Amino acid sequence: MDKLAILIPCYNEGRTIRKVVSDCFAATKNILNTQIYVYDNNSNDDTVSEASTAGAIIRHEYQQGKGNVIRRMFREVEAECYIMIDGDDTYPAESIPDMMNVVLTKHVDMVVGDRLSSSYFQENKRLFHNFGNIIVRKGINTFFKNDIKDVMTGFRAFSYQFVKTYPVLSHGFEIETEMSILAIENNMLISNQIIEYRDRPAGSDSKLNTFSDGFKVLKKIFSLFRNYHPLRFYGVISVILLILGAALFFPKVWIPFIQTGLVRNFPTLIVCGFLVILGMLSYTAGLILDSNVQREHREFEFRLVLVQEQFDRLKNINS
């Protein structure tokens, strides 16, 4: 098991990957048992040769998408602490030792490299990226009751326990959103660390599509909120249906009935009945799914215990 594993997912980062790997080596020269892994995701430039020349361990993920690369990395690498950093030379490798120390000394499960509190808005020239980062951060912190400063950052540190219990479900760039929400919902310890961000150098192009990938991220937030808080989600739907049923029933059916003793709008009465039934079913579904979520939380805690035992065995073997 490595003391520190630096994981770099890459797709066509030939212009910058050698510098990123070299900077990581320089930043961790005093940390024994450090390995730098570059996971290539079907690059068609010289990413692999540049990373190999710089001294990184090269591995491959042939299923396209950043989420698929991270799944592969987390399955294959064993380490006390993991650093994930992009290969585009936008993050400061010199922050790696500090982020590692937070994980190892304070038992933090995820350290978030916070760009938004420093130089991101000055360095990043893509206006909609800036706006999207703000929307995603506010959305997650509002719906999931947390204070993560930078949800979309690709510079993070992880504990062994996080990496080995994290079920990677996303395929693309929504992966950072997913891992943030999973950490929040499973009561894992999260820390924010301010880092200096620099924009991509000339000739290096972002793989992130502002609108299509932004829509996927918002869709992921909506989906995870429904999955982790089904009682709140379906409860809101239930209340809306019941209010709508009442709004139709009282003026169209009840008041005329009181006045005349006759039901003059049978179709409206039937619609109101269906709305009430759907509202009750929605709330019942929320109750059942909420029970399943609570069971999942309990099972997650048992998995953490097993992973901790595995971690302790590996450390004993190393020592």
Which ranges of the chain have pLDDT less than 70?
125-129, 203-210
* Whether pTM exceeds 0.75: yes
Structure tokens at 55: 């001294």
CA distance 266 to 253: 8
Calculate helix-pair angle for 66-76, 175-185, nearest 10 degrees: 50
Tens of pLDDT along 150-184? 988 999 999 999 999 999 988 888 899 999 999 99
CA distance 111 to 263: 64
> What would you report as the CA-atom Rg of the chain, rounded to the nearest whole angstrom?
25
CA distance 227 to 294: 11
- The pLDDT of residue 210 is 66
CA distances 113 to 46, 149, 223, Å, are: 28, 9, 25
Tens of pLDDT along 27-74? 999 999 999 999 999 999 999 999 999 999 999 999 999 999 999 999
